[in-house]
Each structure stands twice: as structure tokens, then as C-alpha cells.
Amino acid sequence: MRNRPLTVAMPKGRIMSEALELWKKAGLPLPNQGDDGEDSRKLIIMSKDHRVRFILAKPLDVPTYVEYGVADIGIVGKDVLLEGNRDVYELLDLKISPCRLSVAGLPGLGINQLIPKVATKYPKVAERYFREQGQQVEVIQLHGSVELGPIISLADRIVDIVSTGNTLKENGLHELEKICDITTRLIVNQVSYRIKLEEIQNILNRLSEVIS
């Protein structure tokens, strides 16, 4: 860990684009020009000065890479952290890719009064939320389009990420309750934070200045 370049795990997609723009504004090393596009098939990209290595990962895998030390730093949505409960330091709210976790359903559709069914990609978050509401539910985990749940009568409600709300509207669903607001966070491996404190603190300071 001490001898290798500082390693950053980033999720491909909108978060990565916004994070790299923030990275650029902060004057931090960027992926080598020509390799940082969304169409790139490379999974590991070095910065021009070879001081930083970027791992392009699926969002759900970012905290795993950081927790186990293959990445020093990770960029990840708060929703992933809430669901995964990983053993990492959450050091900075980057305030990018804002959205919210919400409960949604078909308008006017009643719910099973005995044990309502809730479809979601976030079973732990959903179970915890409804338990806090004093409501017992059956949580059905889906990995694809959870909007299908109420439409095909698999579930009474869904818990999912909502940004503009357009996907819900296009599928005839209404947002019913907001669970929490979500933004993108910077997380750090606990051992890396001790061994590479100066490098990591420099990144934190630069990003904080840009965000503020």
C-alpha cells in the first residue's frame, strides 16, 4: 500500500463525469487524456504524472474496494453506503449528483393491510425505514427496473432513487414519501488514511475549497 500510487475507485457514469469535473477544478491529477471517456473499456487508468491510479468500478463495488484496501479513496453515492454499511471513513460530501431515496407506488392503489410488499434495490434501507415507521413489510429485492413491481402486481410499493421523477411519471407511479436526500461522498480506507495521510489530506483540502 505504501509503495503503490494513490488509488481512487470511481463509478462509471454520471457520478464519474461530475466527480472528474470537480477533480479538475481542484487541480488534482486526472486520468490520462484519451482514456477518461465514457466509451473507454479500460478498467484501470493512470494519471499523466503516474501519481494516481483510477479504478473504474460499478457503484456497488466501490466501498468494497476501499474497505479491503485495493483502493485508498472511493467516490460513491450515499445510497450505496446506507445499504452496504462498510467499514470505511466517510470524509467529505462532494455535493454532486443530488437525488433522494423515496417510496413510490401507483396512485389510488391500496396496499395489502396484512403485510405490504415492497420492491427495491435497497432491502436493508427499506426494512429499516418501514421498521422505524412501525410497519411490517415483506421486502422483495430486485436488481433491474423496480418500477415494474407495482405495475405487474409484484409489490404494493417500491423504494428507489428519484432524481427528476420522470421515470416514475412515465410508468404511472407517484412519489409518496421521501426517505432521505442523497449526494456523492468521498470515502477512505482506514489504513490508507494513516499511511498516506498527507496525500489524502491534500485532496480533501483542495476539494473542500472548490465545494465551499
Residue with cell 468494497: 64
Same domain, 21 and 80: yes
Residue 1 lies in a domain: no
114 and 176 housed in the same domain: yes
CB atoms inside a 10 Å sphere around CB 168: 18
Q: Residue 92 to residues 20, 62, 103, 151: CA-CA distances in angstroms?
A: 15, 15, 27, 38
Q: What is the CATH number of the domain that holds 138?
A: 3.40.190.10
Residues 111 and 177 in one domain: yes
Asked whether 155 and 112 are in contact (CB, 8 A), the reply is no
Q: Kindly give the confidence (pLDDT) of every residue in the chain, 212 residues in length, as a single tens digit, with 9 standing for 90 and above.
A: 556 889 999 998 889 999 999 999 999 999 886 544 445 578 999 998 888 999 999 999 999 999 999 999 999 999 999 998 889 999 999 999 999 999 999 987 666 667 899 999 999 999 999 999 999 999 999 998 999 999 999 999 999 999 999 999 999 999 999 999 999 999 999 999 999 999 999 999 999 999 97
Number of separate domains in the chain: 2
Domain holding 86, by residue range, is: 6-97+183-211
Q: 72 in a domain, yes or no?
A: yes
Listed residue (23, 103, 97, 5) closest to 59, CA to CA = 97
Do 17 and 71 fall into the same domain? yes
